[in-house]
Structure 1
Amino acid sequence: MSFEHSVCIVTGATSGIGRAVAEELASRGALLVLVGRDLSKGQSLVTALAARGTESIFVAVDLADRKAPALIQMQALERFGRIDVLVNNAGLLINGTALECTDADWDRVLDINLSAAFRLSREILPTFLKQGAGSIVNVASDWALMGAKGATAYCVSKAALAQLTRCMALDYSTQGIRVNAVCPSDTDTPMLDLAYEGDDREWKIQTLAASIPMARVARVEEVAKVVVFVASSDASFMTGALIPVDGGTSAQ
């Protein structure tokens, strides 16, 4: 499963699953376009990857900015001349039931988790069509496949991302473009700190683990390896798939 000379864009790349995906792709020879909001963290990641022999650039943008997709693609093409993989990983969780979710909360979560992935995919698709090849992997959630309490906007955004995945996969299935989604359950990332109030992180992890058949939360590298497999040519007959990485949660 080599990505030698493949150019891969990863959003939300400076922490959590996004960083693990970037590191896994780097270990397999990819050239990386890393996207995030924090320039300092981005530059640190570029430096760390360079020390391992990986060439990468960091594009500091807020994906809510409608100009962000064009900037990301422009910098990718100027530096590397092509794009082979897009990983839409950036995401936002704001807790709240329907009564607790404000218009601002709803708009922000839907914009980052769904619309930003749509806009960036729409920007990159003509390049994939010109090349006759390309792979998009959307990082959704097990909550795209089932309901959950207290996170209405997040669940809706991830379910819609799953449907976006299916629709794009069907639209471009005969043109060399594959579109899939990976659906992780609770994973040991900074976002996990938002799952419950309070500062006792170990208690949070144990509480979440109790609801998972495998009795633990996922490690970021476990999710990243699935994302990278789905993005790779080893998954050449997979498109429109929603792949749970959830310790058995969706099997219940």
Structure 2
Amino acid sequence: MKRTAIVTGASQGIGRATAIRLAKDFGVVVLVARNAAKLAETAAEVERAGAQALVIDVDLSEPAAPDLVVCKTLDAFGRIDALVNIAGDVPQIDLFQMTDAQWDAGMSLKFHGARRLTIRAWEALKASRGSVIVTSGNSAAVPKAGFAAVAAINAAIVSLAKAFAERGIEDGVQVNSVLPGPVMTGRRESFLGKWSAAHDMSVEEAKSKFLDAAGISRYGQPEEIGELMAFLVSPAAKWMTGSAIRMDGGEIKAM
């Protein structure tokens, strides 16, 4: 039977790059996100890389969505060997301007979406002695007023992954969190474009300004994070669990 990986947020950015990379190692990659058209593009790349793709366009902020994802996956393929939780777009808004609705939206998708889906997939992951990744971000370690929701939710995700990992020791499920630094995704390109326009500078000047602020030499690429994800769900990393792994070009200087 083909080994099966589920990747959420697979329509773009790190999720898309991860899904395409996992196609080299898994016979099936289940692609989950809200944008069906973009998921179809990812599916074509997954199949070109040699794996079978299953597209599930669903909003993981909805409580019933995880059951749909797991049921469709098990009905089609009978197993789940890896779950990579990447979905989640948290608005980058100043602490004093964030509304309750914006806080709730960020938590519903990135935190609760990953929590619910991991719990719903747990029995299948126990059966396969599988792996889970929950994606956080560097802001978990460096909260700032302008990125308060991102930082708070990312910190909660690291804590959540640690709790899952402890249960996973007993149940035979490996769980880690990944904290990417500044990665040049389409979302970041869009943010830099808007920021540069608002501050009367070129996009290249804005990129350089943010690189200098982060103290790094370049932005990461989604494919680089995809390689890390692939390692973490590979047999070579099986004894690695409960870890929070940064890949950030050296942005976080603390030990």
TM-score (normalizing by structure 1): 0.92
Deviation string, structure 1 residues 91-116 (Cα, Å, up to 9, x no partner): 11312232111011100011111111
> For residue 208 of structure 1, what is the aligned residue in structure 2?
210
1:166 corresponds in structure 2 to 162
> Following superposition of structure 1 onto structure 2, how do residues 142-221 of structure 1 map, counting pairs within 5 Å?
142-192=138-188, 193-194=190-191, 197-199=195-197, 200-221=202-223
Unaligned segments of structure 1, at least 5 residues? none
TM-score scaled by length of structure 2: 0.91
- Residue type of the partner of 1:249? E
For structure 2, the 5+ residue unaligned runs are none
Q: How far apart in 1 are the matches of 2:82 and 2:3?
A: 8
- Give, in whole Å, the separation in 1 of the partners of 2:151 and 2:227: 24
Q: Percent identity?
A: 29
Amino acid at match of 1:225: E
Number of equivalences = 248
Equivalent residue for 1:248?
250
- C-alpha distance in 1 between matches for 2:99 and 2:111: 18
Query: Is the contact between residue 142 and residue 185 of structure 1 (CA under 8 Å) also seen in structure 2?
Result: yes
Q: CA deviation at 1:86?
A: 0.4
User: How far apart in 2 are the matches of 1:186 and 1:221?
Assistant: 13
* One-letter identity of the residue aligned with 1:27: K
Match among 221, 224, 227 for residue 222 of structure 1: 224
170-179 vs 152-161, which moves further: 170-179
Moved more, 151-160 or 23-32: 23-32
Q: Distance in 1 between matches of 2:145 and 2:235?
A: 37
* Cα drift, residue 132 of structure 1: 5.2
Aligned Cα RMSD in Å? Answer: 1.7
Q: Is the 8 A contact 1:139 1:181 kept in 2?
A: yes
Distance 1:145 1:30 in 2: 36
**Matches for 1:24-39 after TM superposition, within 5 Å:** 24-39=21-36
The alpha-carbon deviation at position 119 of structure 1 amounts to 0.6
Written as runs of structure 1 = structure 2, the 5 A alignment for 1:17-166 is 17-129=14-126, 131=127, 133-166=129-162
Moved over 4 A (4+): none
> Do the aligned partners of residues 227 and 204 (structure 1) sit closer, same or farther apart at CA in structure 2, a change above 3 Å counting?
farther
Q: Tell me the distance in 1 between the aligned counterparts of 2:216 and 2:96.
A: 33
State the alpha-carbon separation in 2 of the partners of residues 40 and 188 from structure 1: 22
The answer to which structure has the higher helix fraction is 2
